[in-house]
């Protein structure tokens, strides 16, 4: 039921600029050369705008890595990221797909796939620190519903009409587990029983239904990205801070994780003060502006 945490860093996997090599940006002790951007592609001639997008991605990744080291004294597992990228590339080749097919970008290179994995490595390392940080935990527990454990069973089907048929069968007295085993698309459960877990560990639509459902009553249909759910909640228990800290990853929804990551990332990029070559553009926390495109204010007398 967990969604893959979505990748929030703005990485524009497009085509890089051509031209001679040279330093195009620096942030902290990281130097980015034109060839570093070019390596993300197996050929191609990008527009200047696309080059700026890709350069921003490289600078942002370096700034986030440096902030991770400065604030928490930890480093992302880039060795694992390299292995993940290689394993994925090998798998794609076995299945007859290219890196470009996977990323949706023509001429994408191994270096682009590696950068993709490195972003995930930075995100995982940062979240590992952030989700136990006192201020973050305080913010989470300011919303008790989000930190409530629910014991729930469900039946997942493809359409609202199928869900209504399930509801009608249950209303007629059929056994929930038997119906679940017969028709549910969630084959990873026995009798549809999901056990007890923090509501935040489910996709948002399901979590909200589990938090609001009348205990012991059939609820649905509830639509999520997976289909239509019919569910029954048997118990709800607020999660204590101590229980959360024992396993914070399983207590948080993807939306919560994404929000924590996005907030920290925005703070890091706002504080970053990289140098970008004047002929490339001007750094901002949300992108590199083209030369001469900076917003100006005029006053008319």
Per-residue pLDDT of 49-75, as tens digits, reads 878 888 999 999 999 999 999 999 999
Question: pLDDT tens, position by position, for the chain (301 residues)?
Answer: 433 333 433 333 333 333 456 899 999 999 999 999 888 888 766 678 878 888 999 999 999 999 999 999 999 999 999 999 999 999 999 999 999 899 887 788 899 899 999 999 999 999 999 999 999 999 999 887 778 989 999 999 999 999 999 999 999 999 999 999 999 999 999 999 999 888 877 888 999 999 999 999 999 999 999 999 999 999 999 989 998 999 999 888 777 899 999 999 999 999 999 999 999 999 999 999 999 875 433 333 3
Q: Given CA atoms 244, 246, 251, 255 in this order, what sign does their dihedral have? A: positive
Category of 107 on φ-ψ map: left (φ > 0), alpha (ψ -120 to 50) or beta: left
Q: Is the pTM of this model over 0.75?
A: no
pLDDT of residue 297: 38
Q: Across 61-129, where does the E strand assignment appear?
A: none
Question: In this structure, are strands 287-289 and 282-284 parallel, antiparallel, or unpaired?
Answer: antiparallel
Category of 26 on φ-ψ map: left (φ > 0), alpha (ψ -120 to 50) or beta: beta
**Chain segment 252-272, per-residue pLDDT in tens:** 877 789 999 999 999 999 999
Angle, CA 227 vertex, CA 226 and CA 231 arms, to 5°:
100
HEC string for 130-149 = HCCCHHHHHHHHCCHHHHEE
Angle, CA 49 vertex, CA 44 and CA 52 arms, to 5°:
90
Full set of structural domains in the chain with CATH? 23-131+252-289 (1.10.4030), 148-243 (3.10.50.40)
pLDDT of residue 190: 94
- CA separation for the pair 147, 144 (Å, rounded): 5
pLDDT of residue 54: 83
How far does Cα 210 stand from its chain's mean position? 23
Write out the DSSP string of 50-75. HHHHHHHHHHHHHHHHHHHHHHHS--
pLDDT of residue 294: 58
Strand partners, 238: 148
R_g of the chain computed on alpha carbons: 24
pLDDT of residue 112: 87
201 and 178 Cβ atoms separated by less than 8 Å: no
- Angle of helix 160-171 versus helix 176-183 axis, rounded to 10: 150
Residue 250: in which H helix or E strand, if any? helix 248-251
Question: In this structure, are strands 218-224 and 148-157 parallel, antiparallel, or unpaired?
Answer: unpaired
CA dihedral 55, 60, 61, 62 (to 10 degrees): 90
- CA separation for the pair 117, 86 (Å, rounded): 10
Tell me the H-state helices in the chain. Answer: 34-38, 48-72, 78-94, 99-103, 110-130, 134-141, 160-171, 176-183, 204-212, 241-246, 248-251, 254-271
């Amino acid at each position: 039921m967990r969604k893959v945490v979505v990748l929030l860093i703005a990485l524009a996997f497009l085509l890089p600029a051509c031209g001679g090599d040279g330093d195009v940006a620096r942030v902290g002790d990281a130097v980015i050369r034109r060839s570093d951007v070019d390596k993300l592609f197996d050929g191609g001639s990008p527009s200047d705008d696309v080059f700026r997008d890709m350069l921003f991605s490289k600078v942002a990744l370096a700034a986030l890595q440096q902030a991770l080291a400065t604030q928490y004294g930890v480093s992302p597992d880039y060795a694992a990221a390299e292995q993940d990228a290689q394993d994925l590339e090998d798998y794609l080749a076995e299945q007859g797909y290219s890196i470009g097919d996977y990323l949706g970008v023509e001429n994408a290179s191994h270096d682009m796939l590696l950068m993709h994995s490195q972003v995930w490595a930075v995100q995982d390392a940062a979240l590992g620190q952030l989700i136990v940080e006192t201020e973050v935990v305080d913010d989470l527990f300011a919303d008790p519903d989000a930190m409530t454990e629910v014991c729930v069973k469900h039946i997942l089907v493809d359409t609202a009409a199928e869900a209504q048929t399930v509801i009608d069968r249950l209303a007629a007295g059929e056994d929930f587990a038997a119906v679940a085993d017969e028709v549910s698309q969630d084959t990873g459960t026995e009798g549809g029983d999901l056990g007890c877990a923090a509501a935040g560990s489910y996709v948002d639509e399901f979590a909200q239904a589990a938090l609001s459902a009348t205990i012991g009553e059939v609820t649905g249909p509830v639509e999520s990205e997976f289909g239509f759910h019919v569910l029954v909640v048997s118990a709800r228990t607020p999660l204590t801070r101590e229980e959360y800290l024992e396993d914070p990853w399983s207590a948080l929804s993807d939306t919560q994780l994404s929000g924590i990551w996005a907030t920290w990332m925005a703070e890091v990029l706002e504080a970053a003060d990289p140098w970008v070559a004047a002929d490339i553009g001007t750094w901002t926390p949300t992108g590199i502006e083209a030369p001469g495109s900076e917003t100006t204010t005029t006053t008319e007398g």
